[in-house]
Amino acid sequence: MYYFVIQLFKEEFLDDIMLALTTAGIDNGTVVDGVNMDNMMNQRIPLFAGLIPNSDQRSRYCKVISCIVEDKQRVKAFLQSLDDADIDFEKEGIGRIILIPAEEVIQGRE
């Protein structure tokens, strides 16, 4: 079992990512609007604006998608769907994908 997290910085890819997740059988996740930490620092503590490299070029858009995935095969299917849609997370500025082994998941009934 795995905890699967996607940090997306490009709004134009959200629909394709949601479709790829569904196609791979990954559901019951959570989508949260977020703010990049750099942007938060720029707004709340402007003193740091000059210390953050390329801060004015970074996107203000951020979605965090998280879910529990039963096996790595679903993640591989998701990544293949992204590849088919020409979405490459290795390009700078698109986002991050994180997969963390989860030893145990405790959940109540819905």
Token duo for residue 25? 């059988």
C-alpha R_g of the chain: 16
Distance CA 99, CA 68 (A): 10
Residue-wise pLDDT tens for the chain (110 aa)? 999 999 999 999 999 999 999 999 998 899 999 887 776 666 666 665 555 555 445 557 899 999 999 999 999 999 999 999 999 999 888 999 999 999 988 887 66
CATH of domain 2-101: 3.30.70
Domain boundaries, the chain: 2-101
Q: Of 23, 5, 28, 31, which is closest to residue 80 (Cα–Cα)?
A: 23
Residue 6 confidence (pLDDT):
97
Alpha-carbon dihedral 56, 61, 67, 70, rounded to 10 degrees: -70
Residue 58 confidence (pLDDT):
52
Residue 107 confidence (pLDDT):
82
